[in-house]
């Protein structure tokens, strides 16, 4: 008799435990889903795209994202207005004095990073998203090999150093359709090259912008065909602009780049009023994933973009 009673009590208490565990699990899951802004975030970088060119540029896909999203043409670069220092500043949500990448082609911090994570790098948005979501599909496709030193390779599910614009977009389209990434960076190394060869604000520069816009159209189409569109936030931005055949200096043509964000839960037809700096990009992106930023970061999320 006693063992039977005991086993009945055990069964009741087991059932109660299972009930409460399931309750916590359901509450936990629904909270997590409610707090992530969208299931997919696609970050598109165009190296060397100055805000000065936006009005004149024939970029229907990008302008559609602007009209259906939030944007500023006054996101300011950090000095010098060069590539690695500014991509690092975006990804690492901090001023160069903290992450330590201070020059055009920096492959490691020239100044010791203020903090290191378990990746052995200053914390970037890539590693932070990976640590918060170990199962997430995260991809990073870029043309310029200098990009590989600015993000935590070990955080990536897929990383590719593509040869040229076309391979970059083709790889991105294929990857989106096959793997439906939750976080994907696609960094084109144009219009930077055309800016250095033909010059900024030239017919050749605008011709290249038209081609890049078509590639962005291909990426949006791939997202649509993958059935992800309603659950995606697109970001299009750049590291610096340029003047004549160069950049790195202190003119606003070099310093100001667009930041465009469009998609699920993002205000439409909205010009960002808050002051936005290069280091605010990382903060804004991790806020989409509901990740608290490290204390060492200096970026600020652009909270006004949310509906």
Q: Which among 32-40, 45-53, 69-77, 131-139 is the span making contact with Zn ion, rule CB under 5 A? A: 45-53
**CA nearest neighbour of 68 among 265, 302, 285:** 265
Residues between 190 and 209 with contacts to Zn ion, criterion CB under 5 A: 192
Return the residue nearest Zn ion (CB atom). 83
Considering the rule CB under 5 A, would residue 83 count as an interface residue with Zn ion?
yes
Residues between 164 and 193 with contacts to Zn ion, criterion CB under 5 A: 192
By residue count, the chain amounts to: 307
Q: 2: which 2 tokens?
A: 């006693």
Q: How many residues bind Zn ion (CB under 5 A)?
A: 5
Residue of 143, 190, 239, 254 that binds Zn ion (CB under 5 A): 239
Contact 130/152 with Cβ under 8 angstroms?
yes
With respect to Zn ion, which residue has the nearer C-beta, 47 or 256? 47
Q: Which among 3-11, 118-126, 169-177, 236-244 is the span making contact with Zn ion, rule CB under 5 A? A: 236-244
With respect to Zn ion, which residue has the nearer C-beta, 192 or 280? 192
Contact 230/262 with Cβ under 8 angstroms?
no
> What CA–CA distances, in Å, run from 85 to 89, 117, 220?
6, 19, 28
d(CA 121, CA 150): 9
- Least distance in Å: CB of 103 to Zn ion? 12
Q: Which among 30-38, 231-239, 267-275, 291-299 is the span making contact with Zn ion, rule CB under 5 A? A: 231-239
Identify the burial level of 15 via C-beta atoms within 10 angstroms of its C-beta, where 0-12 means exposed, 13-18 middle and 19 or more buried.
Answer: exposed
Residues making contact with Zn ion (CB under 5 A): 47-48, 83, 192, 239
């Amino acid at each position: 008799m006693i063992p039977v009673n005991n086993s009945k009590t055990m069964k009741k208490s087991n059932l109660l435990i299972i009930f409460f565990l399931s309750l916590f699990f359901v509450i936990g899951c629904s909270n997590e889903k409610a707090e992530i802004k969208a299931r997919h975030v696609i970050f598109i970088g165009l190296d060397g795209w100055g805000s000065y060119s936006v009005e004149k540029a024939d970029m229907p896909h990008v302008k559609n994202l602007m009209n259906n999203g939030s944007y500023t043409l006054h996101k300011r670069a950090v000095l010098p207005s060069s590539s690695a220092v500014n991509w690092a500043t975006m990804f690492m949500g901090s001023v160069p004095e903290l992450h330590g990448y201070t020059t055009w082609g920096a492959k490691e911090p020239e100044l010791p990073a203020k903090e290191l994570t378990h990746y052995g790098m200053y914390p970037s948005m890539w590693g932070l998203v990976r640590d918060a979501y170990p199962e997430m599909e995260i991809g990073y496709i870029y043309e310029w090999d200098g990009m590989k030193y600015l993000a935590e390779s070990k955080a990536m599910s897929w990383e590719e150093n593509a040869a040229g614009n076309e391979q970059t977009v083709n790889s991105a389209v294929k990857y989106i359709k096959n793997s439906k990434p939750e976080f994907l960076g696609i960094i084109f190394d144009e219009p930077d090259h055309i800016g250095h060869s033909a010059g900024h604000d030239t017919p050749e520069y605008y011709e290249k912008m038209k081609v890049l816009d078509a590639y962005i159209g291909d990426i949006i189409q791939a997202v649509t065909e993958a059935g992800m569109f309603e659950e995606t936030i697109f970001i299009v931005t750049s590291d610096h602009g340029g003047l004549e055949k160069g950049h790195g200096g202190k003119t606003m043509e070099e310093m100001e780049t667009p930041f465009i964000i469009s998609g699920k839960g993002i205000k439409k037809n909205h010009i960002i009023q808050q002051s936005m700096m290069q280091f605010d990009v990382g903060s804004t992106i991790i806020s989409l994933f509901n990740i608290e930023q490290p204390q060492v970061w200096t970026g600020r999320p652009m909270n006004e973009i949310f509906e």
